């Protein structure tokens, strides 16, 4: 029974590959439109920001760092 299902699935894929190339390209190109940003993988860097070494570059960063260090 498993062999029959495997052969019929393979035959269906071969039929689509040979007789409907536009549908085959649509099925195989489905993962190319999903890049790292759309998948949410690029958000990992923004959730875990790295800590800068050295003094803050401007007054706004200094105020933000002090606010983080001493939350009310």
Q: Report pTM.
A: 0.38
Is residue 64 assigned to a domain? Answer: no
How many domains would you assign to the chain? 1
Question: Which domain does 39 fall in, by range?
Answer: 1-49
pLDDT score at 12: 92
Is residue 69 assigned to a domain? Answer: no
Distances (CA, A) of 40 to 43, 45, 63: 5, 10, 30
Is residue 12 assigned to a domain? Answer: yes
Is residue 21 assigned to a domain? Answer: yes
Residues in the chain, overall count: 72
Is residue 9 assigned to a domain? Answer: yes
Burial bucket for residue 24 (CB in 10 Å: 0-12, 13-18, 19+): middle
CA atoms within 13 A on the CB side of 63: 3
Weakly modelled stretches of the chain, pLDDT under 50: none
13-28 confidence digits (pLDDT tens): 899 888 888 888 887 7
Is residue 68 assigned to a domain? Answer: no
């Amino acid at each position: 029974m498993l062999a029959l299902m495997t052969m019929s699935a393979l035959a269906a894929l071969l039929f689509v590959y040979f007789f409907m190339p536009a549908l085959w390209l649509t099925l195989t190109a489905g993962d190319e439109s999903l890049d790292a940003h759309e998948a949410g993988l690029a958000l990992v860097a923004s959730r875990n920001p790295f800590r800068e070494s050295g003094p803050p570059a401007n007054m706004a960063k200094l105020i933000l760092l002090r606010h983080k260090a001493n939350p009310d």
